[in-house]
Amino acid sequence: MKKISKENRLDNYNYMKNLTDWVPKEEIFNKDFVWPRQMEIHLPSNKEIACDFHCFYCQGSKLDMGLGLDEKKALKLMEEIGPNTFEYYVYGGAYTEPLLNPYFMDFMRLTKKLKAHFGIHSNGSQLKKLQEESKFCTELVSLMESKYDYYSCSLDGGSPESHMKTKNIKYDAWTDIIEGLKILVSERERLNSKGSIRVAYLLNKWNSSEKELSNFINLMKDVKVDSLRFSIPYAQYGTEVSKVQRYKEKIENKEHEKFKKLLEPYMSKSKDEKPFIFYFAPVNQDIDRMLDQNYKQCAYTYYQTTMGSSGHIYRCSSIATPSFDYGILGKQPETVEEFKEMIKISQDKEFHCHTCIHSTARCNRMALEINTEWNDYNKPNNHMAKTDDTIYVGPKDKSLGKHVYKDESKRWNQDLIKHLSREPNPPKIYQKNTIK
């Protein structure tokens, strides 16, 4: 199996170490129940729109964008789970912008009450507006009790023009985002907060000129963010493996060489540099690594569990949309015991990573790194993992239908196919494409 690219990284980006600091390797798949390291919650924006941007690379934008999560029920569950259970609560979205949600700050306050760290993944569009309305940035940084509390902004443009093209919008949001980041940093300094403010930048044809990158990096130094991460967008979910491989060959690999050379002079040499500037190479999302015959057991479920914006619990944040029905563990739970039973199901030594690959989904960077290292370590015993057959229900465009277990007994909702077959114009059922 191809080795993981171990670029110079900050500690929080060493995912397997983070996992084994939480649960020792010898306990993975050997205990009846383990609380994962973190719970990821995809807040359902304002339930009118999923997101205010329309990024061309968004994995969730073509999939089922259900917005059925009940925030009050989620907050009640967190209260009942109690303190010192999860190390992290992470707020982001497969297709949603969390800062659009009116309950967002309630979740932040409760996270700290529960003595957990929080992580936020956002497009930054609401920072300035919310600060003007309610001193949002001031309160947010006041809640950041350690460097492990972080806000990460997906800012994929070094100018208003490239940002508009990348985000597929017709107005200048970039300027307000920069102002919002400046407010966060200045309030952090004023309040002597210890939280981390990060920026992530996905490179594309509009935002990657040498001049634009140089100017943007200098701007981030002036703003005084803590880190700046560059990477290349994934190929879209809902795409057959052969197409993903062609994307890798024709776009990722070629762009990688160009971007690596372009960014090399700016990359940080020491972890003490601010901002710490680094690049996640495409090898960290490589489809061929996922297709390796030894890439079997999914240990990532010990790292995180996901409450999706649709109002379901998912085995993985990468498939937290109803389009990947086989990844649903159940509807949003009413009790802690219900929730624990769902987590138990997800920590399944027989679940094979290739089940996802067969269904046009893929591991994210964290999952790929964890599962690669886990399966190298557990190779003598990972033969227990069995690939489950899935069937596809819906139109030929596989981003528009649902991937479900072929075995009805394994479905979280065993009546799904029966229900669909009763519709006036039932969608077609397609067998999965077998990976050769």
434: in domain:
no
436 domain residue, yes or no = no
Task: Output the domain CATH number for residue 33.
Answer: 3.20.20.70
- Which residues, in sequence order, are bridge partners of residue 120? 91, 151
The answer to whether the CB of 137 falls within 8 A of the CB of 184 is yes
- Exposure string of 389-405, with b = 16+ CB inside 10 Å and e = fewer, is ebbbbbeeebbebbbbb
Average pLDDT score over residue span 45-50: 93
Indicate whether 106 belongs to any domain.
yes
Reduced 3-state DSSP string for the chain: CCCCCCCCCCHHHCHHHHHHHHCCHHHCCCCCCCCCCEEEEECCCCCCCCCCCCCCCCCCCCCCCCCCCCHHHHHHHHHHHCCCCCCEEEEECCCCCHHHCCCHHHHHHHHHHCCCEEEEEECCCCHHHHHHHHCHHHHHHHCCCCCCCEEEEECCCCCHHHHHHHHCCCCCCHHHHHHHHHHHHHHHHHHCCCCEEEEEEECCCCCCCHHHHHHHHHHHHHHCCCEEEEECCCCCCCCCHHHHHHHHHHHHHHHHHHHHHHHHHHCCCCCCCCCEEEECCHHHHCHHHHCCCCCCECCHHHCEEEECCCCEEECCHHHCCCCCHHHEEEECCCCHHHHHHHHHHHCCCCEECHHHHHCCCCCCHHHHHHHHHHHHHCCCCHHHCECCCEEEECCCCCCCCEEEECCHHHCCCCCHHHHHHCCCCCCCEEECCCCC
Could you tell me if residue 105 is inside a domain? yes
Tokens of 25: 């390797």
Number of domains in the chain: 1
Q: Which domain holds residue 258?
A: 11-290
- Output the pTM of the full model: 0.93
Q: Are 336 and 81 in contact (CB under 8 A)?
A: yes
Tens of pLDDT along 278-321? Answer: 999 888 888 889 999 999 999 999 999 999 999 999 999 999 99
Q: Which of 106-115, 371-380, 425-434 has the lowest mean pLDDT?
A: 425-434
**Which one-letter amino acid corresponds to residue 135?**
K
At 57, is the pLDDT very low, low, confident or very high (cuts 50, 70, 90)? confident
The answer to the question of residue 353 being in a domain is no
**43-57, 142-156, 229-243: least confident range:** 229-243
What was the pLDDT predicted at 434? 43
368, part of any domain: no
pLDDT in tens, 208-261: 999 999 999 999 999 999 999 999 988 877 677 888 888 888 888 889 999 999
Q: In which band, very low, low, confident or very high, does the pLDDT at 333 lie, cut at 50, 70 and 90?
A: very high
Burial of 5 (0-12, 13-18, 19+ CB in 10 A): middle
142 occurs within a structural domain:
yes
Q: Which amino acid is at 102?
A: P
In a domain, 166, yes or no: yes
